[in-house]
A and B are shown apart, each in its own frame.
Chain A
Amino acid sequence: MTDDELMARLSAAAAEFDPTPDQVLAAGRAALLTRRLDEELVALVADSELAGAGQVRATGADVRLLAFETADVSLELQVEFAGARAVIRGLVTGASGEAVIEVAGERHVAPIEEGWFTATDLPAGATRVRVTTARGPVVTSWVHLQAPSAP
């Protein structure tokens, strides 16, 4: 058996024993529905989870800090899990009104008061936040929020 033939058998075994699950395919197909229409994307500029280990420790307990920024608007999020549910406290500059948190197919609306909003009882999963600036709606890039598991 040549390497290519052996590889073909492996591919066939993978297709049989570990195929892409249907729900993963279905979710991928549905992802187009999350397309932004006229909203500007606010890029992630800092994530305590991606910082050096020392910095992560320095933030204390399991609070994840995320910062998103464009020229007009900035959002700083503090994410903390109580069990499987998340609390997000956000500091917004350059936008007012309300923050809309989109997570796991759910929409949560939180008023922005003096620059701050708080959203509680959020599920884990891919999350983004939409706010409205003087120039129109903006939305953060996706972040995956997940309760830290015990080591």
Chain B
Amino acid sequence: MAGNGRLVVDLRSLLAAAADGDPDAWQRIVDQHSGLLWSIARGFRLNTADAGDAVQLTWLRLVENLDTIQEPDRLAAWLATTVRRECLQLIRRGARTQPVADLDRLGRAEPGPAADDGLLRREQAVTLWRTFARLGESCQRLLRVLMATPPPAYLEVAAALDMPIGSIGPTRQRCLARLRELVAEDAVLDPAEGHRS
């Protein structure tokens, strides 16, 4: 939220300003929604290049339609629907997919701050991320979208995954329960290192 003095961002005026060519308004729209779009594309298991393409296509389509967005409140859902379609088309075209939580990337991640607290938290995060990678595909997809920053509304999640809004809560609950089981299993099997297959 750096540089953003307003707590409530009025999307209607941001969209209007962007349509008038105001780069600051546009940047705020992009910054506010990129996390959601990226999470959706990665939930579809697109690799970094293809996920980037899907997100970029979505922004190009919004620019194309800036004058015609009728309901600013539904902008995020519109973006979510658009990026889902772009992802599906890339997949149809033969996009190479990769696991949502790519374990190889962890080795390259820079260590966090050196404080002991930080190290411990980071270890826990690595373990959790590895365990998440063992969930079924549909659970990974839903949870990956829900991990977006800022947290998406269920309306947007429903648009992102083309699923009924009423099934998101129960599915989230079931997937998190499964994740807890896997966490518990890992702790029993190999408390020191976590499970490796």
* Chains A and B are bound partners: yes
Of all chain A residues, the one with the shortest Cβ separation from B58 is: A28
Supposing A29-B30, A31-B63, A41-B64 touch, asked if A7 and B89 sit within 8 A by C-beta, the answer is no
Q: Which of A6, A29, A149 contacts B93 (CB under 8 A)? A: A149
CB distance from A138 to the nearest CB of B (A): 13
Chain A-chain B contacts (Cβ-Cβ < 8 Å), number? 140
| Interface-facing stretch out of B3-11, B19-27, B158-166, B188-196 | B19-27
Cβ–Cβ contact B30 & A141, under 8 A: no
Q: How far is the CA of A27 from the CA of B66 in the complex (A)?
A: 17
Q: How far is the CA of A20 from the CA of B54 in the complex (A)?
A: 13
User: For residue A135, which residues in chain B have a CB less than 8 angstroms away from its CB?
Assistant: none
Q: Which of A10, A126, A146, A149 contacts B56 (CB under 8 A)? A: A126
CB distance from A125 to the nearest CB of B (A): 7
Q: Identify which of residues 10-36 in chain A touch chain B, using a CB-to-CB cut-off of 8 Å.
A: 10-21, 23-25, 27-29, 31-32, 34-36
Cβ–Cβ contact A125 & B147, under 8 A: no
Q: Identify which of residues 129-151 in chain A touch chain B, using a CB-to-CB cut-off of 8 Å.
A: 141-142, 144, 146, 148-151
Cβ–Cβ contact B59 & A27, under 8 A: yes
Number of interface residues of A (CB under 8 A): 40
A50 contacts chain B at the CB level, 8 A cutoff: yes
Cβ–Cβ contact B92 & A13, under 8 A: no
CB distance from A141 to the nearest CB of B (A): 6
Cβ–Cβ contact B149 & A27, under 8 A: no
Q: How far is the CA of A24 from the CA of B86 in the complex (A)?
A: 15
Cβ–Cβ contact B35 & A142, under 8 A: no
CB distance from B64 to the nearest CB of A (A): 6
Cβ–Cβ contact A144 & B89, under 8 A: yes
List residues of A whose CB falls within 8 A of some B CB: 3, 6-7, 9-21, 23-25, 27-29, 31-32, 34-36, 41, 49-50, 125-126, 141-142, 144, 146, 148-151
A sample of 16 inter-chain contacts (CB < 8 A) reads A13-B126, A13-B147, A14-B39, A15-B147, A18-B102, A21-B38, A21-B48, A27-B52, A31-B59, A31-B63, A32-B26, A35-B66, A126-B60, A144-B86, A146-B53, A149-B96
List residues of B whose CB falls within 8 A of some A CB: 18-19, 21, 23, 26-27, 30-31, 34-35, 37-39, 42, 48, 51-53, 55-57, 59-64, 66, 86, 89-90, 92-96, 101-102, 105-106, 109, 112, 122, 124-126, 128-129, 132, 143-144, 146-149, 151, 172-173, 176, 179-180
Besides A31-B59, A142-B61, 15 more A-B contacts (Cβ < 8 Å) are A3-B173, A10-B128, A16-B109, A16-B122, A16-B125, A20-B37, A27-B55, A28-B55, A28-B59, A31-B30, A32-B26, A35-B19, A49-B93, A142-B64, A146-B53
